[in-house]
Amino acid sequence: MKRLALRWLKFNLVGGLGILVQLGCLALLCFWMHYLVATALAVEIAVLHNFAWHERFTWKDRPGGGRERLLRLLRFHLGNGAVSILGNLGLMWLLVDRFHMKHLLVANGIAIAICSFLNFALGEWFVFRP
């Protein structure tokens, strides 16, 4: 249980950096494209960032390189990537288009927070499984 709690803290540290990456990308990309397209691209950039750091920090105790790393990246995109992209797009649409939230970065922060719980579970038991 202690190991899982420590992993949760590491996951959130990496996630916090990923939030900065995602929000920074979203802020820049919104100048050139529709906010939903910008959201999808910003999430993908953050997903790749987070995967690299989870490999090296959060789940570094789980061995695997080469082929296993590629399989983990595929599982990360199928699990965490899908939840993050679909969840962020759906929640952004709901918050911005339906609830008329004016601040895109605040709306995106809410979407990230909601998706984070499922993403940790997917990381622990699907992507980086022992």
pLDDT digits (tens, 9 = 90+) for 1-43: 788 899 999 999 999 999 999 999 999 999 999 999 999 999 9
Cβ-in-10-Å burial (0-12, 13-18, 19+) of 93 comes to middle
Q: Per-domain residue ranges for the chain?
A: 10-127
Q: What is the pLDDT of residues 75-106, one digit of tens each?
A: 999 999 999 999 999 999 999 999 999 999 99
With beta carbons less than 8 A apart as the criterion, state whether 14 and 58 touch.
Answer: yes
User: What is the DSSP secondary-structure string of 69-87?
Assistant: HHHHHHHHIIIIIHHHHHH
- By the 10 Å C-beta count (0-12 exposed, 13-18 middle, 19+ buried), 72 is classed as buried
